[in-house]
Amino acid sequence: METVATYRAHGGTQGVYRHASTETRTDMSFAVFVPPHAEGARLPVVWYLSGLTCTHANVMEKGEYRRACAELGLILVAPDTSPRGEGVPDDAEGAYDFGLGAGFYVDATEAPWAANYRMWSYVTAELPALVAAHFPADMARQSIMGHSMGGHGALTIGLSFPERYRAISAFAPIVAPALVPWGRKALGRYLGEDKAAWRRHDALALIEDGARLPALLVDQGEADQFLREQLRPELLETVCASAGQPLTLRMQPGYDHSYYFVSTFMADQLAWHAERLG
- For residue 153, what pLDDT band results from cuts at 50, 70 and 90? very high
6-30: pLDDT as tens digits: 999 999 999 999 999 999 999 999 9
Boundaries of every domain in the chain? 2-277
Enumerate residues 6+ apart whose C-beta is below 8 A from 275: none
- Output the average pLDDT for the chain: 97
Q: How many CB atoms lie within 10 A of CB 91?
A: 15
How far apart are the C-alpha atoms of 3 and 88, rounded to whole Å? 23
Q: Return the pLDDT at 142.
A: 98
How far apart are the C-alpha atoms of 54 and 173, rounded to whole Å? 15
Measure Cα distances from 2 to 28, 32, 185, 218, 269 in Å.
10, 13, 35, 35, 30
Q: What is the 3-state secondary structure (H, E, C) of 191-212?
A: HCCCHHHHHHHCHHHHHHCCCC
- For residue 176, what pLDDT band results from cuts at 50, 70 and 90? very high
How far apart are the C-alpha atoms of 113 and 87, rounded to whole Å? 11
Beta bridge partners of 248: 217
- For residue 86, what pLDDT band results from cuts at 50, 70 and 90? very high
What share of the chain has pLDDT > 90, as a percent?
Answer: 99
Catalytic residues: 148, 224, 257
Enumerate residues 6+ apart whose C-beta is below 8 A from 66: 9, 10, 12, 14, 33, 76
Q: Return the pLDDT at 158.
A: 98
- For residue 172, what pLDDT band results from cuts at 50, 70 and 90? very high
Which sign, positive or negative, has the C-alpha torsion 163, 161, 1, 137? negative
**H or E stretch covering 269:** helix 259-277
**H or E stretch covering 247:** none
What share of the chain has pLDDT > 70, as a percent?
Answer: 100
How much is the average pLDDT of 208-237? Answer: 97
Q: Which amino acid is at 173?
A: P
Q: Return the pLDDT at 251.
A: 98
Q: How many CB atoms lie within 10 A of CB 3?
A: 10
The verdict on domain 2-277 having CATH code 3.40.50.1820 is: yes
38-60: pLDDT as tens digits: 999 999 999 999 999 999 999 99
How far apart are the C-alpha atoms of 149 and 182, rounded to whole Å? 9
Angle among Cα 7, 11, 15 to the nearest 5 degrees reads: 30
- For residue 121, what pLDDT band results from cuts at 50, 70 and 90? very high
How much is the average pLDDT of 93-104? Answer: 96
- CA of residue 245 relative to chain centroid, distance: 20
